[in-house]
């Protein structure tokens, strides 16, 4: 799985931030294996450096799934790490839901699949 980080001119894309993104993506999405080919993160600071607001950091995550449309989620937070972490929780659940919709009927109901994804988040 390829992990890409893009930022606007108000956020410095450091190696530490890229490493954090890769670590969080690996932990959250590794269970989907080869079904996810790429994850792109887009970080922006809405107010820039001049003003600071409670939720002015925006993170948009896009997961590219093999044979399916991309899954996109958004999160707003006070810091880049919080925005990445919150968006990754949303992305994990959204990917699980998207894959469940396209898998052949199994013994689990869609609600059970989402509950399993929630259990993984709690761990």
CATH number at residue 79: 3.30.160.100
C-alpha closest to that of 92 among 5, 22, 30, 18:
30
Question: What confidence tens digit (pLDDT) does each residue in 6-25 have?
Answer: 999 888 888 999 999 999 99
Q: What is the pTM of this model?
A: 0.79
Give the whole-angstrom CA distance, residue 120 versus residue 95: 13
A 10 A CB-CB count for 119 gives 9
pLDDT in tens, the chain (123 residues): 999 999 998 888 889 999 999 999 999 999 999 999 999 999 999 876 655 667 789 999 999 999 999 999 999 999 899 999 999 999 999 999 999 988 766 555 556 656 666 666 565
Quote the domain boundaries for residue 107: 2-122
- Residue 85 has a pLDDT of 95
Q: How many domains does the chain have?
A: 1
| Backbone conformation region of residue 61, classed left if phi is above 0, alpha if psi is from -120 to 50, else beta | beta
């Amino acid at each position: 799985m390829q992990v890409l980080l893009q930022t606007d001119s108000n956020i410095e894309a450091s190696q530490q931030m890229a490493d954090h993104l890769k670590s969080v993506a690996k932990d959250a999405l590794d269970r989907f294996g080869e079904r996810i080919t790429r994850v792109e993160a887009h970080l922006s600071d809405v107010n820039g450096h001049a003003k600071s607001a409670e939720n002015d950091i925006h993170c948009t995550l896009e997961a590219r799934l093999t044979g399916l449309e991309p899954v996109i989620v958004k999160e707003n937070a006070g810091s880049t790490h919080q925005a990445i972490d919150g968006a990754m929780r949303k992305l994990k659940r959204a990917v699980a839901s998207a894959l469940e919709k396209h898998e052949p009927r199994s013994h689990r109901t869609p609600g059970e699949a989402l509950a399993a994804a929630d259990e993984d988040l709690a761990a």
